[in-house]
Amino acid sequence: MSKDVILDVRNLKVDIPVSAGMLHPVRGISFSVARGETLCIVGESGCGKSLTSLALMGLLPKTATRTADKLDFLGQDIRDLKERQMAALRGVNMAMIFQEPMTSLNPAYTIGNQLIEVYRRHIDPGKAEARERAIFLLEKVGISAAASRLSQYPHQLSGGLRQRVMIAMALMCGPDVIIADEPTTALDVTIQAQILHLLADLQKEFQMGMILITHDLGIVARVADKVQVMYAGSTVEEGPCQAVFDSPLHPYTSGLLRCIPVPGKTQRGSRLGSVPGIVPNLVGDLHGCMFRNRCDHAEAACEALAGDATQLSDGHAFTCRMTPDEAAQAARQTAREVA
């Protein structure tokens, strides 16, 4: 590998026993993230995006089991690490930003307290140095009067500011990879643009790898280097951002792209495309293509066969029984139907 890969995941699976049987929310997904690279994982709710990130962080619920053929982080196999060793990695080498800045900060402690705690626990117990780093990072994420903010409580800050504090907290120990799970979903559009701008800048500056989990294709298009489209726990399409958006091949990807109104392109008041049906139940034995019940191009063959990933040049791949030419034609056809 030419690039400096920091996280390499092969065939990651998560299984959770539920009363009806075994739930398979993540069913064998693979990806890698290099330094300075942004990977976007996109999909509907319930497709396993968030569990994937929790599996990486080792934060799955106790009943869940995680298996993988490979789970290398900074060249180290982290599959069998003890909780104590995992805790040493978390926060220092890999950090996470959650969706809800309202609920992920502790309301009973000041911002400063929460920022400094991470650093003192992992890096250096000295208070002064931690405080200096907290002020430095708060200024980096665009918070004015940083020193006086340290003594404020989360409720005194707006949503956008809280999310900035969360980002500063994730950066406290200088992580190598940052996992952002829907970081802007709870925010206004104007603030969303600012936060994404900020994340992209910081990522370049500190040369971090970033995994951004979102359901918003607009965000994906603007920030991603690589895209991974998930459906029902597995990857249906992946590739460089430009390739996936220019020529989506899997019927699910092209379906999603047809769902969103695009100012200036979609005719006002026209019918939007839709992906009919709902996400399948992932309990028990699963076989065949999971998208077949919602797919316009499903055939009898889809029942039995999941189809292997078809690799195109430049890393673009999709998992479908159709050949790339058939898939491209199918995507064009549905695009015409909507228009």
Partner 1 sequence: MTAALETVDVSCVFQVNQGFMKGSKPLRAVNGVSLKIPKGQVVGLVGESGCGKSTMASILLGLQEPTSGEVLYSGESAGSFDGKDIARRIQPIFQDPYSSLNPTKSIHSIVSLPLRIHNVGDPADWDRKVYDILDLVGLPRRVAQSYPSQLSGGQRQRVAIARALIMRPEVVICDEPTSALDVSVQSQILNLLQDLRQELGLTYLLISHNLAVVEHMADRVAVMYLGRIVEEADADTLFRDPRHPYTKALLGSVLTPDPSLGVPDTHLGTVFPNPIDPPLGCSFHPRCSACMDICSAQTPMPVTEGDHMTECHLYAPQEAVAV
Taking CB under 8 A as the rule, does residue 88 contact partner 1? no
Binding residues for partner 1 restricted to 309-328, rule: CB under 8 A:
none
Binding residues for partner 1 restricted to 265-294, rule: CB under 8 A:
265-266, 268-269, 271-276, 278
Sign of the dihedral defined by the CA atoms of residues 103, 109, 111, 114, in that order? negative
CA distance 63 to 31: 25
Cβ closer to partner 1: 261 or 284? 261
Structure tokens at 277: 């049906």
CB of 159 to partner 1, least distance (A): 7
| Beta strands across the sheet bearing 38-42 | 94-97, 177-181, 209-214, 38-42, 226-231, 234-240, 317-319, 309-311
Amino acid code (one letter) for 319: T
Cβ closer to partner 1: 91 or 160? 160
The one among 259, 304, 312, 339 contacting partner 1 by CB under 8 A? 259
CB of 262 to partner 1, least distance (A): 5
CB of 161 to partner 1, least distance (A): 7
Given a contact cutoff of 8 angstroms between Cβ atoms, the answer to whether 37 and 3 are in contact is yes
CA distance 109 to 234: 39
Cβ closer to partner 1: 254 or 310? 254
Binding residues for partner 1 restricted to 1-30, rule: CB under 8 A:
none
Taking CB under 8 A as the rule, does residue 189 contact partner 1? yes
Among the candidate windows 50-58, 100-108, 131-139, 261-269, which touches partner 1 by CB under 8 A?
261-269
CB of 250 to partner 1, least distance (A): 14
Spatial neighbors of 101 by CB under 8 A, at least 6 apart, are 159, 162, 163, 165, 166, 186
| Runs of H (alpha helix) within the chain | 49-57, 83-89, 111-122, 127-140, 146-149, 159-171, 189-206, 217-223, 241-246, 251-259, 300-304, 324-338
Binding residues for partner 1 restricted to 216-255, rule: CB under 8 A:
216-224, 241-242, 245-246, 255
Letters for 200-219 (x = contact with partner 1 by CB under 8 A, - = none) are: x--------------xxxxx
Binding residues for partner 1 restricted to 38-77, rule: CB under 8 A:
44-45
CB of 315 to partner 1, least distance (A): 15
Cβ closer to partner 1: 75 or 276? 276
Spatial neighbors of 27 by CB under 8 A, at least 6 apart, are 13, 48, 232, 233, 234, 282, 286
Q: Name the DSSP letter for residue 335.
A: H
Binding residues for partner 1 restricted to 154-183, rule: CB under 8 A:
158-161, 164
Residues contacting partner 1: total by CB under 8 A: 54
Long-range contacts of 197-205 (CB under 8 A, 24+ apart): 198/141, 198/142, 198/164, 198/167, 199/167, 199/223, 200/38, 202/140, 202/141, 202/167, 202/171, 203/36, 203/38, 203/178, 204/36
CB of 83 to partner 1, least distance (A): 33
Amino acid code (one letter) for 100: E
The one among 2, 19, 190, 313 contacting partner 1 by CB under 8 A? 190
Cβ closer to partner 1: 119 or 291? 291
Contact residues for partner 1 (CB under 8 A)?
Answer: 44-45, 142-143, 158-161, 164, 188-194, 196-197, 200, 215-224, 241-242, 245-246, 255-266, 268-269, 271-276, 278
